[in-house]
A and B are shown apart, each in its own frame.
Chain A
Amino acid sequence: MNLFDRFRAKFHGGIQPVEWKETANCPIQRLALSEQYILPMKQHIGQECVPLVAVGDRVLRGQKVARSQAYVHAPIHAPTSGIVRKIADNPIPHPSGLGMLSLFIEADGLDEEKKMPCLADYRNIDPVLIREQVRMAGITGLGGAGFPAFIKHRRDDEFPVHTVILNGVECEPWLTNDHRLMLEHGQQIVEGLDILMHVVGAKKGIIAIESNKPDAALNIQQCIADFSQDMEVRILPTRYPQGGEKQLIQVVTGKEVPAGKLPLHIGVLCQNIGTVKSIYDAVVLGKSLTERVVTISGPQTPRRGNSLVRIGTDLSFILSQHGLTDLSEVKVIHGGPMMGELLPNLHVPAVKSTTGLLAWHTAEFEKSHEQPDPCIHCGHCVQVCPVKLVPNELASHCKHDDTERAQAYHLFDCIECGCCSYVCPSHIPLVQHFRYAKGMVAQQAREQKFSEESRQRSEAHLQRIEKEKEARAARRAKVLAKQKALEEK
């Protein structure tokens, strides 16, 4: 990196949390097959899927078992061969502990696979077909957000994409799955980048890696050297939350994605490392998304490491494979420690967005929580906020349920990165206030909509009654008139 780069590479705020990336030395290991897999019908942002199979059907690994009619969705595939045993509601890895319709597949141990056609010669294939293959493979953003990947792969004449950025930042503490992928599957990742560049017609590919992963950067650099002239590795100073899409794009291109706009609008496509590896698997090998790398770590996990996990595997099974069998005194976070969520129930399946499972002892976990004190207006939170909010002001509006003012303070620009909570000397759970307020705004909108609909229904009801009354009165008048006529005769 030259001096110029060093000055350019910066986004506002950010922190440097302790890394805890000890699993970076643990090679990815394939997890043993489990007996049962549970597939929730929505593992992506968008419309919920509906099952395509019935109870009793035999399915093969990679077979599409659920999809939706909506544009924004990702189909779901069976993770192994077996029989569909049940279609019922089941909890998902979510802080609420609530669930949704899920498919229960009993594995038959044969692990027979059904593949899509391989498009190995992708450079000579129509980008539209490749995009369709990525869509059919059910690939979502594996960095945690879960946005269906194919949607971003559109060639748009109005906003042509000139640069594809691969997000190898992995700035969350503890997580190392992208790191391991870059070390062990560098070649596939570089080819995946080439596929993306072909699909969107980009001239340039950049793989962004933080300076705490020099081995990964070196490996990717070597892979690029004998592959393409149009790619480069960009080593970035280590800083959280650099892996946020907008933060990363700003650091790499020097351009800010305007609020309310997409990376596409400044000619950039940004995709996570794990996602690109699955795109390679789908396009070159014809494999649907049925497995992903998960970091299993945290102080309470005896054998920490990275596992290649089939989607739908029970989390308690995964933890037990890593030596954690007694789950009575542990708290597990789904995702990274900064943005992940505490799970109230561990008998839930791994989903496409499961990046990590981090286990703490309950007592330890509670000790590291502290009672909040009043805000001392030190301004630390303002300094670290990557989207330049004023978290202390914002939180006080949220606390008083003043959603209007909170929105005027750009509540919805908050990316919930947790930097403000991390640095607050008064231990105020700032992000929690923001999550609550966002939920409240959504709920108020739902209530508003419902009351508007109820008003219309009630008005229709009253009108109908009015009409019925009139009709009855008219009928009666008619009868009376007839009677009168008869009497007169």
Chain B
Amino acid sequence: MIVDVLIAAVVVACMALVIAGVLAYASKKFHVEGDPLVESVNDLLPQTQCGQCSFPGCRPYATAVVKGEAEVNQCVPGGDRTMKKIADLMGVEASQMDAEDLGPRLAVIREDECIGCTLCIKACPVDAIVGAAKQFHTVIADQCTGCDLCVEPCPVDCIDMVEPPKQLAQWSWRAVRPNKTRQKRGGKVET
């Protein structure tokens, strides 16, 4: 009788050991860097890295949101759509956005005025500015997030934020607005 109990205890103890080993190995092997929830929130953010949320970038903001140190409505470039998605993910009420987003922006350096000080290169969070010391710098338009961070450090104020040029590949039909939209039989719409 006692022997039976002992055997059972030993078997269970062995199993526990083996499983503990496997679990320990798995937790090492499949270790995820950082908090997965932070990653999910970060994935929703536009990655403009502009700091308008009052945090030094998108991931810090995502971290703060997950810790409950920031509201879900602080990312200005993300706008309403991003805010709703974050609220959904965090299971909180969606709220109003504080500030209005200006739409996409692009930094342009007036190259003849640039003194080649490299201060803007240091400020760019996505390394979208090229140039070497004492030579004029330029912005890689395809990589600029329009974060505005390079404008302030420039000692000669030669960086402008402009509306990105309209491109055919990026064009899409406008929304149908009631009253303004008139429609002909046959689907022709004029806005």
| A79-115, CB < 8 A from B | 92, 94-96, 98-100
Minimum CB–CB distance from A57 to chain B (whole Å) comes to 26
Give the number of A-B contacts (CB < 8 Å).
129
| A317-376, CB < 8 A from B | 331, 333, 337-340, 342, 365-366, 368-372
- B184 engages A368 (CB within 8 Å): yes
A418 on interface, CB distance cutoff 8 Å:
yes
Query: For residue B183, which residue of chain A has the nearest CB?
Result: A429
- A460 engages B127 (CB within 8 Å): yes
Please indicate the chain B residues that have their CB under 8 angstroms from the CB of A427 in the complex: 183, 185
- B189 engages A432 (CB within 8 Å): yes
Please indicate the chain B residues that have their CB under 8 angstroms from the CB of A432 in the complex: 173, 176, 181, 183, 187, 189
- A100 engages B168 (CB within 8 Å): yes
Cα distance A461–B127 when bound, in Å?
A: 6
A455 on interface, CB distance cutoff 8 Å:
yes
- A369 engages B47 (CB within 8 Å): no
Stretch in A136-144, A146-154, A446-454 touching the partner: A446-454
Q: Counting chain A CB atoms within 10 Å of each CB, which of B48, B174, B184 scores highest?
A: B184
A431 on interface, CB distance cutoff 8 Å:
yes
The number of residues on chain A lying at the interface, defined by a beta carbon within 8 Å of a beta carbon of chain B, is 55
- Given A432-B187, A454-B145, A455-B47, A369 and B182 contact (CB-CB distance below 8 Å): yes
Assign chain B's interface to a size class.
35 or more
- B171 engages A96 (CB within 8 Å): yes
Please indicate the chain B residues that have their CB under 8 angstroms from the CB of A446 in the complex: 170
A436 on interface, CB distance cutoff 8 Å:
yes
- B143 engages A457 (CB within 8 Å): yes
User: When each residue 10-48 of chain B gets 1 if its CB lies under 8 Å from chain A and 0 otherwise, what string results?
Assistant: 000000000000000000000000000000001001111
Query: For residue A339, which residue of chain B has the nearest CB?
Result: B187
Cα distance A432–B166 when bound, in Å?
A: 21
Cα distance A369–B174 when bound, in Å?
A: 18
Minimum CB–CB distance from A15 to chain B (whole Å) comes to 10
Cα distance A173–B185 when bound, in Å?
A: 13
Please indicate the chain B residues that have their CB under 8 angstroms from the CB of A429 in the complex: 176, 181, 183, 187, 189
- Given A447-B46, A451-B46, A399 and B186 contact (CB-CB distance below 8 Å): no
- A436 engages B173 (CB within 8 Å): yes
Please indicate the chain A residues that have their CB under 8 angstroms from the CB of B170 in the complex: 443, 446
Minimum CB–CB distance from B120 to chain A (whole Å) comes to 13
A17 on interface, CB distance cutoff 8 Å:
yes
B175 on interface, CB distance cutoff 8 Å:
yes
User: When each residue 97-129 of chain B gets 1 if its CB lies under 8 Å from chain A and 0 otherwise, what string results?
Assistant: 000000000000000000000000000111110
Q: Counting chain A CB atoms within 10 Å of each CB, which of B166, B170, B175 scores highest?
A: B175
With beta carbons under 8 angstroms apart, the residue of B127, B167, B190 that contacts A369 is: B190
B73 on interface, CB distance cutoff 8 Å:
no
Please indicate the chain B residues that have their CB under 8 angstroms from the CB of A365 in the complex: 184, 188, 190
- A371 engages B188 (CB within 8 Å): no
Please indicate the chain B residues that have their CB under 8 angstroms from the CB of A368 in the complex: 184-185
- B183 engages A421 (CB within 8 Å): yes
- B181 engages A457 (CB within 8 Å): no
With beta carbons under 8 angstroms apart, the residue of B46, B49, B168, B182 that contacts A99 is: B168
| B126-157, CB < 8 A from A | 126-128, 143, 145
Please indicate the chain B residues that have their CB under 8 angstroms from the CB of A94 in the complex: 168, 171
- B176 engages A436 (CB within 8 Å): yes
Cα distance A365–B183 when bound, in Å?
A: 9
Please indicate the chain B residues that have their CB under 8 angstroms from the CB of A380 in the complex: none
- A452 engages B187 (CB within 8 Å): no
A435 on interface, CB distance cutoff 8 Å:
yes
- B176 engages A399 (CB within 8 Å): yes
Query: For residue A48, which residue of chain B has the nearest CB?
Result: B169
- A422 engages B187 (CB within 8 Å): yes
Query: For residue A173, which residue of chain B has the nearest CB?
Result: B186
Cα distance A399–B181 when bound, in Å?
A: 13
- A458 engages B57 (CB within 8 Å): yes
Please indicate the chain A residues that have their CB under 8 angstroms from the CB of B175 in the complex: 436
Please indicate the chain B residues that have their CB under 8 angstroms from the CB of A98 in the complex: 166-168, 171
A433 on interface, CB distance cutoff 8 Å:
yes
A477 on interface, CB distance cutoff 8 Å:
no
- Given A370-B183, A457-B143, A333 and B188 contact (CB-CB distance below 8 Å): yes
Cα distance A421–B45 when bound, in Å?
A: 37
Please indicate the chain A residues that have their CB under 8 angstroms from the CB of B182 in the complex: 366, 369-371
Please indicate the chain B residues that have their CB under 8 angstroms from the CB of A92 in the complex: 168
Minimum CB–CB distance from A102 to chain B (whole Å) comes to 12
Cα distance A71–B119 when bound, in Å?
A: 43
Show 14 A/B contacts (Cβ-Cβ < 8 Å), sorted by A. A92-B168, A96-B166, A338-B187, A370-B185, A371-B182, A372-B181, A422-B187, A429-B176, A429-B181, A440-B172, A447-B46, A450-B47, A454-B46, A455-B47
| B interface list, Cβ under 8 A from A | 42, 45-49, 57-58, 124-128, 143, 145, 166-168, 170-176, 178-179, 181-190
| A interface list, Cβ under 8 A from B | 17, 92, 94-96, 98-100, 173, 331, 333, 337-340, 342, 365-366, 368-372, 399, 416, 418, 421-422, 427-433, 435-436, 438-440, 442-443, 446-447, 450-455, 457-458, 460-461, 464
Instruction: Please give 20 more A-B residue pairs, beta carbons under 8 A apart, in addition to A337-B186, A457-B127.
Output: A100-B168, A338-B186, A365-B190, A421-B185, A421-B187, A428-B183, A429-B183, A430-B187, A432-B173, A432-B176, A435-B172, A443-B172, A446-B170, A454-B126, A455-B58, A458-B47, A458-B57, A458-B58, A461-B125, A464-B127
